Amino acid sequence: MQQQIDRFLASLASKKGKKGKENTVAAYHNDLGQFFAYVHDRRRDGTPTTWSDISTNDIIDYVLDLKQREYAAASIARKIAAIKSFFHYLMDTQIVSDDPTSRSPHRRF
């Protein structure tokens, strides 16, 4: 799963033409690493094993955890943007066939 994060970040770095791309890539690296660690720690039984195993509820729970830990709204928004961009990349590269960020059954994130 980490390989897909690394490939996404490399792709992002090569596409970003604006000044400050290093900051965006560094922030997304941190944000996606934090999300991956959250999901991994939460599922101690070894799941998920692929990004396809991530559900909308996993993302909602993560956002709620960030809010509970009193992250600033701007930080949460950036983390959500990183996750959404990452799943769009996974869809574009056919690594996943469903985008869990495209819907939110109970809350918007």
The answer to whether 21 and 13 are in contact (CB under 8 A) is: yes
Residue with the bigger pLDDT between 105 and 85: it is 85
- What pLDDT, on the 0 to 100 scale, is given for residue 24? 86
Query: Can you give the pLDDT at residue 74?
Result: 95
Q: What is the pTM of this model?
A: 0.85
Of 18-22, 52-56, 59-63, 100-104, the range with the highest mean pLDDT is 59-63
- Structure confidence at residue 20 as a pLDDT band (50, 70, 90): low
Q: What percent of the chain has pLDDT over 90?
A: 59
Look-up of token digits 């709204």: 73
